Structure 1
């Protein structure tokens, strides 16, 4: 066992019970998450807290990508931030570098090939108005390439955990719903790749919307321009 995995094991014994004792999230359909083997957890995205909530309630390691800034800070605070994100299974990615963003798909494939769980937000960035935005096809690329199932996840209430401008998390009702796994292996053999990716992505987003109850936006979500 590596030091990173050892640190993860230590954190996972402490953090989930603590978080669940404080926030008491409602979890529905957890039996739909395979206990072993490569799997994608595709979720709606309402808050920064989503990437903590999902790993807390899933009884196996879920790898998410996080912006590289969280891993490069200096001093005690920077070190603590890096250890925290590494410890809960996150991997750094530079979201402003298109080449790095593409390389992150290769990183995700490596995770899936190792038989691990990979978490992804097909919308690309969090919804600021509560609607569910159109999914980007990276999730379908991963599922079709790795030939792994996709478990749709619907989160509700996480946007109220720590609203923008708030300095500390709040104790609010949070619900996590896991849907029936979507199997893609073999279903799209012979279908043009672009069409297959779009169809798979739309199927995943429809399942997420059913679980979250969000109004579909019908358009892609774009990251806000920094002032």
Structure 2
């Protein structure tokens, strides 16, 4: 029998035990976890308590139940809420994985016709551009190609984006009030293939994201995700 610490709810401790098993590789993607009756016996608790812990992990998309078969660890493919604006570094850490990134470009830029239209500025407007590959356990999961208006963020090029993401910096300088996402399926060009370490036939999701602070458009980002490694989730209540 495994002892539980008295100062935490029992179901949370069982949940933590299962989470630790997933993080440490005891329970790998697609593997079956012990049955409720086994866990109840192991921790000397009721099946209802174990069920609560497992139900929480199912709702968090870490476990999946198959009637008559048992409960399994979900596919390790990363997932991100589509309508939320979240820091990708935090997402990775919250999944119990290791985050890293490489800054490919951090430079001055000038708005061409396409970028000017997206950002609502005249052609030739001074911009700053950052291109970053975000990784989860050393595997590229997002290519971020971001443009910001130079006069609004004069210190943008001085930031160390390996220590903190552009999202973190922008959120501090200009808290997000509105966001627009346009999602499309694409095949990667040669540059994207190289940066994301994928082949020419790997389908990708391209998310074009514009963010505003109050009524001011601050950033336009093209986020490319390998479809084999990432999925986007959206949820809305009826009538919203």
Question: TM-score scaled to structure 1, two decimals?
Answer: 0.24
* Structure 1 or 2: more helix by fraction: 1
Structure having greater relative contact order (Cα 8 Å, sep ≥ 6): 1
